Amino acid sequence: MIKKVTLSITGMTCAACAARIEKVVGKMEGVDRISVNLATEKASVEYDPVITDLAAISDKIEKAGYGAKTFEKNNLVDEDKLKKEKESRTLWRKFTISTIFAIPLLYIAMGPMIWWLPFPIPVSLEPMQYPLNYALVQILLTIPIVIAGYQFYTVGFKAILNRSPNMDSLIAMGTTAALLYSGYSVYQISKGDFMAVDSLYFETAGVIITLILLGKSLEALSKGRTSEAIKKLMGLAPKTAILIRDGIEVEVAIDEVEIGNIILVKPGQKIPVDGVVVEGSTSIDESMLTGESIPIAKTAGDSVYAASINKNGLIQFKATKVGGETALAQIIKLVEEAQGSKAPIAKMADIVSGYFVPIVFVIALLASLAWFVSGESLVFSLTIFIAILVIACPCALGLATPTAIMVGTGKGAEYGILIKSGEALETSHKIDTVVLDKTGTITEGKPKVTDIITMEGINSSRLLQIAASGEKGSEHPLADAIVKAAEADQLEMLKTEGFEAIPGHGIRVEIDGMSVLLGNRKLMEDQGVELNSMEHHSDRLAGEGKTPMYIAMNRQMAGIIAVADVVKGSSLKAIEKMKAMGLEVAMITGDNRRTAEAIAKQVGIGLVLAEVLPQDKSSEVKRLQTEGKKVAMVGDGINDAPALAQADVGIAIGSGTDVAMESAEIVLMRSDLMDVPAAIQLSKSTIRNIKQNLFWAFAYNVIGIPIAAGLLHLFGGPLLNPIFAAAAMSLSSVSVLTNALRLKKFKPFQ
């Protein structure tokens, strides 16, 4: 049996690191699949515990030069937040220290070349008069900067020894080359060669490290913002609950709540776990689950969910799901898995990253040698070598996809749109056909009384009262709709006698001394009841997709009550929106064609697949796929499970039941069809963002490396200073993250 675990990875600095871990672990016997996410710093591993174990996998990762530990979900909010805050503080502190020393270092190094400086270089540091002083002060200023950026060297050289060079390796090699060459120049100065003062590169190494620390600090800040949505979700659950034990209120930690406990929730408090109301009534704000801002009325027997807010009543409920089983915990798990997953578009970046760093080393070496052989000085060749190594960092490449997926899936969760994987997110933007289940998706899924038509002299309330009184003993869904309509009008139920159900036809019952018949046309014909003008009304109602039920009193026609599964208020608008997006919309149902077409006509659907059995729905989806269509199936996730699984993207609409979450790639927490075009719109926005990120990441390296190699200089242009290369490299990562964060402004169709 395959086991799935999530590991926290430390020591990763770029896409090459993630690719290296995937490569070494992926080759292990027993490992089925591994996906490493640079942005979340987590690895999702699927392995066979019979063949290998977690210790062996962690050991393999550590031998590759990285840290690995099991990802604990307990106290996740606090741990993750503290870790990110600590990382950010450490980086800012290192950057501050390096800046304090880099500014005077750059001032001293460049001062002699800039005549208009407001504060002249002290005479004791004049390079032509006191070259050794000039060099030694630069060494003293460079040492603290190198110490602040020591991790670039420890991680970078370790990665080279492990034959998996990464971003740190490029920086370590480039700055070390500058430092060693500068150190040799200091030795030459001490021997009396004062001209060697022109070959000092301490400021290059110092400023490069400082700029990269700035980039890393900004990166950490941006990374923290990409996971804000998941942090908000995780921070919703209350920390305590009030239990009722032997009639006494006892406040306990949330972890101590067990299934079956009776919990008291006062007005204004959050629901601590999932459960069913046993006493009291209230309205509850479930917007954190569904995105729906209107509070929902709750009475005994209704379900309540963890982290929703009790608005105005005092209730007691029985805990049914606790800990990781609550709806909120399941949502968090889905969003985490989606943020940790990879879209197919990311594979291209992974492949490139795996080969990128070694290729850059070769390019840097060949370019610097070529310039040296062509007659340029060693200093010139060294500048080329350092500039290429520094500018070619693949950070932006590694962050392009995961950051956009993190923000996109997090934004979806805010609106009750749960996208379960990067693959689902990517596939959704290709959808051209949307197949909608009728019952519970386009319609409410609960029959309601829509029309009451009476014969002359009979009051509609009286007819509904008699019909409801008769149907009170029936278990038929249509009967339930009539009873609920009467209860909504606060009609009193009349006493009945001699109830008789006539299968397939209706019922016969005695009410107030009258013989009442309630049922279909066949029942009336069999009992010899004249339909009169009601037959015309019956045909019209049936044509509208409604089910007409005749009522006769003492074998005299009294009227018709029509019952129908009514169309949701948002269905027409949602379908119009999908069609405006260029999507073909189809409806699939087990209902008869006449009813199905009546509903389809109301909402503007042309393609109707009617009288389809649940087991055949997946075949209909497959048939559309064979026609070359990319199909999204939208259903309630229970009887539509096979079709949801067959579709290119399965979208479960409803309250996020376990079955829905298992069978669909996207779960819409609200029963609102408008979330379907919103989910597709979010997918399109996210994929567009990823493509922009990848374009700029690739374009940056395609343009940057030739310039660093001296292409412009070859045609009489300037040579790229390694300091500017470092600034550009840092800004490339920050620009990719900033672009991904633009998705936070996403708003679905209103």
User: Residue 613: is it exposed, middle or buried by C-beta count within 10 angstroms (0-12/13-18/19+)?
Assistant: exposed
CB 578 within 8 A of CB 676: yes
Helix (H, G, I), strand (E, B) or coil at 544: coil
Give me the amino acid identity at 254: I
Helices (H) and strands (E) in the chain, counts: 26, 26
How big, in percent rounded to 5, are the helix, strand and coil portions of the chain? 55, 20, 25
Give the DSSP H/E element, type plus range, for residue 516: strand 514-519
User: Exposed, middle or buried: residue 632 (CB in 10 Å: 0-12, 13-18, 19+)?
Assistant: buried
Q: How many CA atoms lie within 13 A of 37 on its CB side?
A: 28
- The token pair at 481 is 């709709």
Long-range contacts of 552-557 (CB under 8 A, 24+ apart): 552/516, 552/517, 552/518, 552/524, 552/527, 553/466, 553/514, 553/515, 553/516, 554/514, 554/515, 555/515, 555/517, 555/527, 555/528, 555/529, 556/455, 556/529, 557/455, 557/524, 557/529, 557/530, 557/531, 557/532
> What is the β-pairing status of strands 443-454 and 556-567?
antiparallel
Lookup: tokens for 414? 């805010």
Supply φ then ψ for residue 674, to 5 degrees: -65, -20
| Contacts of 559 by beta carbon, 8 Å cutoff, 6+ apart | 452, 453, 454, 455, 458, 460, 463, 534, 550, 551
Catalytic residue annotation: 437
CB-CB neighbours of 584 under 10 Å: 17
Give every CB contact of residue 214 below 8 A, 6+ residues apart in sequence: 95, 99, 730
Give me the helices (H) in 496-553, please.
521-526, 534-543
Mapping DSSP to helix (H, G, I), strand (E, B) and coil, where does residue 35 land? strand
Which backbone phi and psi does 313 adopt, to 5 degrees?
-115, 165
Find how far residue 367's CA is from the centre of its chain. 43
Please tell me the distance from the alpha carbon of residue 525 to that of residue 262, in angstroms, as a whole number: 55
Residue 260 φ then ψ, to 5°? 100, -15
DSSP state of 701: H
Q: Are 506 and 492 in contact (CB under 8 A)?
A: no
CA distance 214 to 103: 14
Structural contact between residues 410 and 401, judged by C-beta atoms closer than 8 angstroms: no
Round to whole Å and give the CA distance between 396 and 731: 9
What is the residue type of 374?
Answer: S
CA dist 390 and 3 (Å) reads: 41
Between CA 628 and CA 297 the distance in angstroms is: 45
Written as six digits, the tokens of 114 are 């800039």
The neighbour count for residue 173, using CB atoms within 10 Å, is: 24
Place of tokens 């490569």: 23
| Cβ contacts of 364 within 8 Å, gap of 6 or more | 384, 385, 388, 389, 392
